[in-house]
């Protein structure tokens, strides 16, 4: 990758799915945006089903828009969509724990007859 700017910055781009992690550190011109860095990194070639317009992206854990100008040594994080809604998952686990507690509290049938 050849750039006309003499001021290059290092940017790390990371993405993890259920099976693997994709991690690249590349040099870019100092005026590059988050969206341009993702496109030029080759991520979309490795994950063709991923849409840059529908995705969520962050820099060091803070969600940022695609037009964010990057700084030297930034880490771009590409977030995948959630499989389950967190609220629904918490409710399901709470119901499961409550059922388990109720089963433990019940007295066995053999003890009631004595």
Q: Which domains does the chain have, with CATH numbers?
A: 8-79 (3.10.20.90)
Note the pLDDT of residue 25: 95
CA distance 43 to 52: 10
CA distance 49 to 38: 14
pTM, to two decimals:
0.67
pLDDT in tens, 92-106: 888 888 888 777 766
63-75 burial string, b = 16+ CB within 10 Å, else e?
Answer: ebeeebebeeebe
Residues whose CB falls within 8 Å of the CB of residue 33, separated by 6 or more in sequence, listed in order: 66, 67, 68, 69, 70
Average pLDDT value for residue range 42-56: 87
């Amino acid at each position: 990758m050849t750039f006309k700017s003499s001021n290059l910055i290092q940017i790390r781009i990371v993405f993890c799915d259920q099976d693997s992690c994709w991690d690249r550190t590349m040099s870019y011109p100092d005026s590059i945006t988050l969206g341009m860095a993702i496109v030029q990194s080759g991520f979309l070639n490795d994950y063709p089903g991923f849409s840059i317009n529908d995705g969520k992206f962050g820099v060091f854990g803070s969600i940022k828009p695609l037009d964010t100008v990057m700084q030297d040594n930034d880490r771009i994080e590409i977030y995948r969509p959630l499989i389950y809604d967190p609220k629904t998952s918490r409710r399901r686990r709470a119901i499961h724990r409550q059922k388990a507690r109720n089963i433990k509290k019940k007295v066995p049938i053999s003890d009631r007859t004595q």
